Chain A
Amino acid sequence: MKVLIIEDEAALNKSMVDYLSSQQYLCESAIDYRSALDKIEQYAYDCIVLDLMLPGGNGMNLLKELKASNKMDGVIIISARNELQDKIDGLQEGADDYLTKPFHLSELSVRIAAIIRRKNMQGSNAISFEEITLDNAAKTVKVNNVEVLLTRKEYDLLLYFIVNKNRVISKNAMASHLWGDDMDMAENYDFIYAHIKNLRKKLLAAGAGDYLHSIYGMGYKFSVK
């Protein structure tokens, strides 16, 4: 899976590349309009992470270029501007998603995964981790081919964990993922704990391995280990 990261802030660009590379994505980065345009014209990507304010040009024009050349690349806009109009414009120009800075890398990763799944319609909509299989179209989960009934939130959490497998995810990032950034964090931690407890219980009961590890003082990690 090839991903192009277009972001002029070097530190931000690098951390995105590092995080996504560790998840079997092949990442390339561009830090200005010119080099981004070159890369877009020459190669095809599964997903492009696009910052709107770039030295040398507006990210929106890159979107137009992509559209004009009929490229199938998925695009997720990352912008510092939390403007409704920007979102509408971006999505109208053919972007698949819009993420406002500051975001969690786990959130970015789950959004990229969703875009790639949507783009690869020939592939199945299934995501699997060991004996757990998620059918993203039907929103169902099977453990060893036996369906497990999960609530919507639990399903969301499981998908989020599997996409970000082997990574430590903070409670804060999970709360933002499930309830958005507007909610108070401290209060949400209790829910997160309740949801995770239920999810783990259901998975274990269905015969899955215990993959959910709690990281003290921080959050959780979904891994075989």
Chain B
Amino acid sequence: MKLFAQYNRLNIFATVVIFLVGSCTFYVLLRYILIRQMDTSLQSEQQEIVQYVHLHHTLPEIINTREQRESFVIDTASKYTCEFFNSIEAGTGKEYRDIRFSIAVGADNYIIVVSKPMDSTQLLLKLIIGVTVVMIALILVAGIFINRRILNGLWKPFYETVNQVKDYNVTTQQAISLPVTQTDEFALLNQSLGVMIERVQNDYESLKRFTGHAAHEIQTPLAVIRTQLDMLMQQENLLQRYAPGISEIEQAVQRLSRLNQSLLLLTKVENRQFVLDEDVHIERIIADKCTELTEIMQVKHIALSLTVAPFTVHFHKHLAEIVVSNLINNAIRYNRPSGLVNIVLENGILSISNTSSLPFLDQDHVFQRFYRHADVKTEGNGLGLSIVKQICDFAGFRASYHYLDDMHIFMVDFNTRTSL
């Protein structure tokens, strides 16, 4: 529910309650005053009768009109000095105000009741109810109009800001242009947002610079080591003694360099430093990768079966290559000699399955960094699958692992776009 609607609901509720209470009080007060007035006029009637009796020693003639009724009853038992009460006429249900008093005429004691109808108070009640209903209706209608006007006009800058923030993407580095507004609260909001966005942008930039620098700081010494090794191995007299050592160092440098590249890639994917704005033909990437790996599969006597239907997805070409290549590399690396690799791309679901000497893997851990099955001896850096997972999470694809009929199956569903 909108803020203003909530406010309005409370406001109208309170107004209506106050109005009802006010109307009731008004009615009670007015009625009290009117009754007091009637009582005064009834009292003057009483005085007239008392004076008449005093002068003429007899009761006046009863003349009942719409305005006034009188009744004289002889009653020796009870005596009233002066008493007011309300009565309701039996047939019509009309309400009357009555005064009752006793008077002695000669030897008789009369009880005299004078009644006046309370028409005017009923009229008053009707009027007040009418006015109240009309007022409440007016408040509701005004509320709706004000609401509409405020949402369309006053809150406009707010919604513009919200839309801007919704479309904001830190990776694209576009400046955000928040609307200029006369309302203090929105101006404050925009100003704070501006400051926050600038800070986020700066943080993001420094993070990006950091990954760049980290690469430089690590890759450059590695380059020094590698080139020095290349120079060292030209000394053939040295080689005769140190060849295995130099070879080991060389391999370690390669592993370190690859590890560094993988970690940087992971960081960049996590920081969402890629813009997914390319149409990528998954089937072509698979075909290229398979051609590249034909040789290695031949040597390992691995049979490849390809069932690939063309599928194009809005993605990042380089990232798509990494996903496909990591999965296929794994399918070959952890395969057994004379094993199988099945690659299926159907309806945008890529499924790569392979035989392996490894038993089924832990579904919860298989995508974790540096996860290795205890039986694995080869030198994969343990980041391949977590990179796949990270890229899929970033792009909103679903990556999963299953084990079925002695086959390890890795699936990527390019249809689902859960995040983004």
Contact = CB atoms under 8 A, between A and B. Distances in A.
B295 interface: yes
A84 interface: yes
Contact of A82 (B215, B217, B240): B215
Which DSSP category, helix, strand, loop or mixed, fits chain B's interface? Answer: helix
Interface string A157-201: 000000000011011110010010111111110110010000000
Contacts of A78: 223
Contacts of B378: 184, 186
Interface string B210-239: 001001111110111111111101101001
Interface string A2-43: 000000010110011011001000000000000000000000
Interface residues of A, number: 46
A62 to B, nearest CB: 17
Contact of A103 (B226, B250, B295, B380): B226
B216 A53 contact: yes
Nearest to A106: B230
A154 B304 CA distance: 25
A102 B226 contact: yes
Contacts of B220: 9, 12, 80, 101
Contact of A102 (B217, B239, B257, B295): B257
A12 B223 contact: yes
A27 B8 CA distance: 82
B333 interface: yes
Contacts of A194: 299
B215 A218 contact: no
Contacts of A190: 299
A185 B219 CA distance: 19
A184 B300 CA distance: 14
Given A16-B227, A101-B220, A181 B257 contact: yes
Given A80-B218, A187-B333, A191-B295, 16 more contacts: A12-B220, A15-B231, A53-B216, A81-B219, A84-B318, A101-B219, A103-B227, A170-B230, A172-B247, A179-B292, A182-B258, A191-B299, A216-B240, A218-B239, A218-B243, A218-B246
Interface of A: 9, 11-12, 15-16, 18-19, 22, 53, 78, 80-84, 100-106, 167-168, 170-173, 176, 179, 181-188, 190-191, 194, 215-219
What 4 pairs across the A-B complex have the smallest Cβ distances? Answer: A217-B243, A80-B219, A102-B223, A101-B223
11 contacts: A11-B224, A16-B227, A82-B264, A102-B223, A102-B226, A104-B230, A168-B239, A182-B329, A215-B236, A216-B240, A218-B247
